[in-house]
Structure formats: C-alpha cells, structure tokens
Amino acid sequence: MSSQGRGGAHYFVLVHPCIIAFIGSGLVMMALTWKCPEVFKNEHLGLLGQFLHWLGTEHNTFMMLVFTPVMTIHVMEAVVAVYLCGTLGLTPPTTVLWVAQILVVGILSLRFLIWPLRDVQNDAKTTKRE
C-alpha cells in the first residue's frame, strides 16, 4: 500500500470482537459436531448440547456437507487476503493478522482489504496524471 493509503504497510482493521467470538465459536461447534459429537453429551449443556449431539450422531454426513464448504470458502478467502496484502505492500506480520482473522470471520474481514484497494488504485491514477 502506498504511504498515502489507509495506514500504510501496517494497515489492519480488527472486526468487532463479539463477531469474531460468535463466528469462531460457531465454526468450532460445527467441527466438534461433525468429528466428535460425544463432546456435547454433557447434561450441563442443556438443549443445545442435546441438539448438537443428535445432529452429530444422526446426521453426521450433513454436518460434513455443511462444515467442509464453509471452511473451504474461508481458506480461499485467506488465499485472496495473502494476494491482496502482497498487492498492497503490507508487512508479513500484518499479513498474518489478516489471514488469521479472515480464516475465522471470512468476508466480514476481507471487505476491509478489498475496498482500500480501490482507494490505492485511485491514488495511483492521480499520481500518474501529475
């Protein structure tokens, strides 16, 4: 990213922590429901635990069909983020932050990398004209 861009080489926007916690816990619950539903057999988890245990034991294939594409999309978004970070000239530690956040939150984080790209392209066009 040029020095005129938003934040320079250390540009990073943290998505609201509540959103990260909500989506992250959802991904973990989907993975556990698919791979080891017995985790939710605990009576202290109430109706949610009973439902997730039932879903993982009775409809395990469905959980695989939901979880696998979701994580595949998040991984593809992370690959796009690596490309965008390289295009914007972000530092490696900043790129790692973006990739980690996008692996959890997905497009809700990736959008902050996509739209500043337009601003940088507009800055580059303006610089070329001068």
Domain total of the chain:
1
Sign of CA dihedral 112, 128, 2, 87: positive
Query: pTM of whole model > 0.85?
Result: no
pLDDT at 2: 41
Is residue 63 one of the residues assigned to a domain? yes
Determine contact, residues 33/64, Cβ cutoff 8 Å. Answer: no
Query: With b meaning 16 or more CB within 10 Å and e meaning fewer, what string describes 42-55?
Result: eeeeeeebeebbeb
Tokens of 130: 């001068």
pLDDT tens, position by position, 42-97: 889 999 999 999 999 999 999 999 999 999 999 999 999 999 999 999 999 999 99
Is residue 82 one of the residues assigned to a domain? yes
- In the numeric block, the tokens 């439902």 are attached to 51
Mean pLDDT of 23-29: 96
Is residue 101 one of the residues assigned to a domain? yes
**Domain span at residue 121?**
13-129
